[in-house]
Each structure stands twice: as structure tokens, then as C-alpha cells.
Amino acid sequence: MKKHLWILLIGAPAFAIFLAALKVYYTIAIWTYQGKPQIFEVKAGESFAKINGRLYRSEFIPSAKLFYRYCKTQGLMTKFKTGRYEIKPGDTMLDVIETLTVGKSITTSVTIPEGKNLFEVAEILESKGICSKSEFINAAKNPALTKKLNIPADRFEGYLYPDTYGLTEGMPAEEVIKALVSNFNRQIKSIDFSNAPNGLNKHQIIILASIVEKETGAREERPIIAGVYHNRLERKMRLYSDPTTIYGIWESWNGNLRKKHLQEKTEYNTYRMGGLPKGPIANPGLEAIKATLSPSKHNYTYFVSKNDGTHVFTESYKEHLKAVDYWQKNRANRKGKSWRQLDKSKR
């Protein structure tokens, strides 16, 4: 009798522990979500407690208490990543944890074309629901952030690499910028900036490449236009670039460039100042950067739009004026439209 009692005293607690462990194992690894596929969003700056509570109330996990204990013992409480995630039927609690901590979020495809400036990039991002236009512009013009990411300027213009990205809705603007800048660094990693024409440094090449990108949409013209600007710099001529002037007044510009704008004194108006503008005026692609580093060798110092995205290049101012008369002042060649309406590469 005493022997049986002793077995009972030892066995009962052990069995209870076994049942408790079995319940924990079932809750964590066996129980599965049986609802319809749903989207769960981890918001920027959201605490673990709020994430846990929302998961439990949505019945994506069977126990908030066990979810907390497991994440705490595994050091996962601060590992949840901002983003939108799909919770699927059959997901265990471990599956949910992995989805939210590894960062398998639902992404939106966002294409940033070559030659767009930071303000235009902001509009694209807002239209896709990634982040607000104002939030992105503020982050892109934050000198503390440029310093943190080793960008030698007070804004990220020129370094927001044009490409197609998979971004998540509600993504913080700073994270978007990090993704674009990281891609920029990857793309230019193999490029040698040490022997640039006119002794330009890396940042100055990006400035000039952004101008080249804005001046033409014709791929074959990029090295020629880069050569024109290098010739002007070498001869101490002003760049006289409309896109630089437009960028300097962008936030107050109504889309119509007038003669008075060419006289406005800004840090980007190359009609009023010699040399390069303060910084890049857009975000150039790899081809524009390479063209600026290896421009065509010629004696051209002028070019004028042919109203189809391409240009006529001339060596002398006299020849340039003739080209202007023919291509710009002749309404027949413009079909009654201004060259800026026809030459979209200027925008």
C-alpha cells in the first residue's frame, strides 16, 4: 500500500507536468489557424504588447500568454519587422512568429524611372501607398540622415537609385531611402571615379550625371552631352542648363519656365553661376554616370532640341543660333508647340 502511494505521489505531478508540456507543445507547434487568409500589419514603432494583443484578438494565435513567453525566452520580442504580412490557414504559432520576424512581408512593386528628382520620387511612393509625400521629402532633405548614410550632401538627391523595388505599404520613409541608397552603392561599386575628366570627384560626377540624365532621353546622346558639359567646364563657360534652373525653383514652379526664372539667383541656376550647381538635380541611372565618366571626345559646346528627344550639336555660338532659328523659332518644326512640350526629356 505504501509503495503504491509513493508511486502515486511521484507519478501524479510528473504526469501533470507531462500534460502541461504537451499542451504547450500543442499550442505552439500543432494548433493551426483555420480562418480565411488575412493581412496583418506590423506598424512602425508598435510595441510587442500591442502586436501580441492584436494577433490574439484576431485569432491568429491561440494564446497571448504563451506567445509572450515563447518570444521572451527566444529573444524575439524586439525582432518584429514593420510591414504587411499574410496569415494563411494552416499556419502554426511558430509559422506566424517566423513570418513576422523574418520579414516575409507583402511587397508592392514600385518603379522609379531614371531622371526623377526626390520630389517626383515622393509622389510615386505616395501614389503606391508606401509612405506620404511630405514624410519622404522631409527624410530626403535631412542632413543628419545623409551624414549617417555617408552621403556628402545635405539631401539624398542623386543617390536614390532609379530601379524597380519591392516595398511594403506604410514603410517608414527612412527605410525606403536606405533601400534606394543601398542599391545605389551596389550599382556603382565596380566603377572607378579616380580618373574623372576635369578632376571631378565622385559627388561632382553624380551632379553632372544628373544634368546629363535630364537633358536627353536618347541613350546614344548621353556621352555626347556629357562631352559638351565637360568642354564647357574646361573652357570656364557656364553650363546654361535649363533643368538646373528648374530644379532651383521646383517647389514653387508651375511647370512653365520663363525668362525671369533664368535670372533668379539660386544655388542651382547655371545661367547665373559658373561651374556645377550645389548638388545633383535628379537621380541618374548607371548609363548617365558612365557617360559622364567617359564622355565623347569632340569640340561641341552647344546643343539644341530637335523636338523629338534628340539634339543638334554645334561647336560655335553662331552655328548654335542658326540651329535655334531652325528648330525652335520655326513654328513648322515645332508644330505650333513649345520645345518643352515636345521634348519630355527636359522635365
Residue 46 maps to which CATH number? 3.30.1490.480
Write out the residue range of the structural domain in which residue 141 sits: 108-187
Whether residue 246 is found in the same domain as residue 315 = yes
pLDDT (0 to 100) of residue 255: 66
Separation between Cα atoms, residue 161 and residue 185, nearest integer Å: 9
pLDDT (0 to 100) of residue 168: 87
**Phi-psi category of 255—alpha, beta or left, where left has phi over 0 and alpha has psi -120 to 50?**
left
- Residue 124: name the closest of 41, 43, 180, 206 by CA: 180
Whether residue 143 is found in the same domain as residue 201 = no
Report yes or no: 170 and 178 within 8 Å, Cβ to Cβ: no
φ, ψ for residue 316 (rounded to 5)? -115, 160
Last residue of a domain, one of 135, 163, 187: 187
User: What residues form DSSP beta bridges with 312?
Assistant: 304
φ, ψ for residue 250 (rounded to 5)? -50, -45
> Is 19 part of a structural domain of the chain?
no
Last residue of a domain, one of 187, 209, 233: 187
> Is 265 part of a structural domain of the chain?
yes
pLDDT (0 to 100) of residue 7: 52
Whether residue 224 is found in the same domain as residue 178 = no
Element (H, E) at 165: strand 164-167
Separation between Cα atoms, residue 271 and residue 327, nearest integer Å: 21
Whether residue 273 is found in the same domain as residue 175 = no
Whether residue 203 is found in the same domain as residue 338 = yes
Whether residue 98 is found in the same domain as residue 112 = no
> Is 17 part of a structural domain of the chain?
no
How many angstroms from the chain centroid is the CA of residue 332? 41
- Residue 173: name the closest of 105, 121, 103 by CA: 121
Whether residue 216 is found in the same domain as residue 167 = no
Structural domains in the chain (count): 3
Whether residue 160 is found in the same domain as residue 299 = no
pLDDT tens string, the chain, 347 residues long: the values are 555 554 545 554 544 444 444 455 545 667 889 999 999 988 878 999 999 999 999 999 999 999 999 999 999 999 998 888 999 999 999 999 999 998 778 889 999 999 999 999 999 999 999 999 999 999 999 999 999 999 999 999 999 999 999 998 888 999 999 999 999 999 999 999 999 999 999 999 999 999 999 998 889 999 999 999 999 999 999 999 989 999 998 877 666 767 777 777 889 999 999 999 999 999 999 999 999 999 999 999 999 988 888 899 999 999 999 999 998 887 777 664 544 444 443 33
- Residue 291: name the closest of 221, 238, 243, 343 by CA: 221
